[in-house]
Amino acid sequence: MDFWTLANAVASGLLIGLVYGLSALGLSVIFGVIRIVNFAHGEIMVMGMFFALLMFRWLGLDPLLSVPLAAALMFGFGYVLQLVVVSRVSHLPEHMQFLLLAAIAIMIVSALLLVFGPDAQGVDVDYAWNSFAVGELIIDYPKMFAAIAAVIVASLLLAFFKYTSTGKAIRACADNRMGAQVVGLNVSRLYALTFGIGAACLGAAGAIILLLFEVHPYLAPGYTLLAFVIVIIGGLGSLFGALVGGILIGVSEAMAALLFQPSMKSAFSFGLLILVLLLRPQGLLGKAVR
């Protein structure tokens, strides 16, 4: 295998990994603040994909232009889900919350199946097959645009948490829920906002990734598991870790596809997950939080 084949695989994995990272960010935000493992993660992302698909079909809207709309829609979904459903089970044991979200995940997949059917559907943008070359490194436009969009959304999110007062309030909530209540923060509203923001990440990531892959309802569990792999490698609750974990998984999957068989790439990720869970359950970059 020559250098350029390898470089191309790495570059492609890196670009897709950024989108994975954005998606994992959505899981990490929700866990970091609400301490709930969102088992409906991939399902919300696939809802974003289908939304962008409809926008493309009905209005001819490029999926990248659908990103803000998908994010807004999923924000609303996440906000309501937390406020109306998830908040009601905060007193139940952790495993019941997990199972509730698993049931919600199945509801979403089944509903999508009813509406859209099981077949894979994609969008056809005019730059789909365009690319540019640096030396023998060939970069596809869709992958590059997707990565840029993911970086923009992720940066906006990080800036929100760093600079806005609401973002700071949410972080305060994550650090110390009681303390946040004592100083008069409306915790249930902030939790709803947080779930909304996490879901918005997923909506955005879904719209972006539609540029690269076709969508069908059964895609969802795979994305959920992928995001688990990423955040556990990067450390549950660590935002930066989610991005780095995304890139790591993107690249390692591309390498696995190159070295073994493309269909083996997710076995590689799960193997990695098992290793990380066993050796460093708080994640490669995470702090010990348990």
Partner 1 sequence: MSPLGRYFHPLSPAGLWLGAAFLAVLLLLPVWGGSYVMTVATTVFYLALIGQSWNLMLGFAGLLSIGHALFVGIGAYTAAYLFAAVGLPPIVGVLPAIALAVLMGVLIGYLGFRFAIGGVYFALLTIAFAEFVRIIVDHVSWLGATEGFFLKVSSADRHGIDLVNLRGAPEMYYYLIMALALGALVLCRFLLRSRLGYYWQAIRDDAEAAEALGVNVLRYKMYAVIISSGMAGVAGVFYAFYQNSLFPEIVFNIERSIEATLGSIVGGVGTLFGPIFGTFILTPLGEIVTEAIDLLKHWGVIDPQIKLDGLKLLIWSFIVVLIVLFKPKGLWPWVCSRLRLTRPEAEG
Residue closer to partner 1, measured from CB, 75 or 268:
268
Q: Looking at beta carbons only, is 166 or 266 nearer to partner 1?
A: 266
CB-count burial class (<10 Å; 0-12, 13-18, 19+) for 21 = buried
Cα-to-chain-centroid distance, residue 258: 24
Contact 235, 282 (CB under 8 A): yes
AA identity, residue 60:
G
Q: How far is the CB of 279 from partner 1 (least distance, A)?
A: 8
**Cβ count near 257 (within 10 Å):** 18
In the complex with partner 1, which residue's Cβ is closer, 132 or 260?
260
**Please, what sign has the CA dihedral across residues 71, 74, 78, 83?**
positive
Residues making contact with partner 1 (CB under 8 A):
37, 85, 88-89, 92, 94-96, 98-100, 102-107, 109-114, 117-118, 217, 221, 225, 228-229, 232, 261, 263-264, 266-267, 270-271, 273-274, 277-279, 281, 290
DSSP string for residues in 194-241 = HHHHHHHHHHHHHHHHTTTS-B-TTHHHHHHHHHHHHHHHH-TT-HHH
Sign of CA dihedral 194, 200, 201, 202: positive
* Least Cβ distance, residue 61 to partner 1 (angstroms): 27
Closest approach of partner 1 to the CB of residue 113, in Å:
3
**Is the Cβ of residue 94 or residue 136 nearer to partner 1 in the bound state?**
94
Shortest separation between residue 221's beta carbon and partner 1, angstroms: 5
CA distance 26 to 227: 9
At closest approach, how far in Å is the CB of 28 from partner 1? 14
Helix axes 219-234, 41-59, angle to 10 degrees: 130
Kindly tell me which of 61 and 99 has the beta carbon lying closer to partner 1: 99
CA distance linking residue 250 with residue 256, whole number of Å: 10
- Least distance (Å) from partner 1 to the CB of residue 231? 10
Report residue 160 as tokens.
Answer: 């929100």
Q: How far is the CB of 212 from partner 1 (least distance, A)?
A: 21
Q: Is the CB of 9 or the CB of 109 nearer to partner 1?
A: 109
Closer to partner 1 by Cβ: residue 142 or 241: 241
Unique residue bearing structure tokens 């079909």? 57
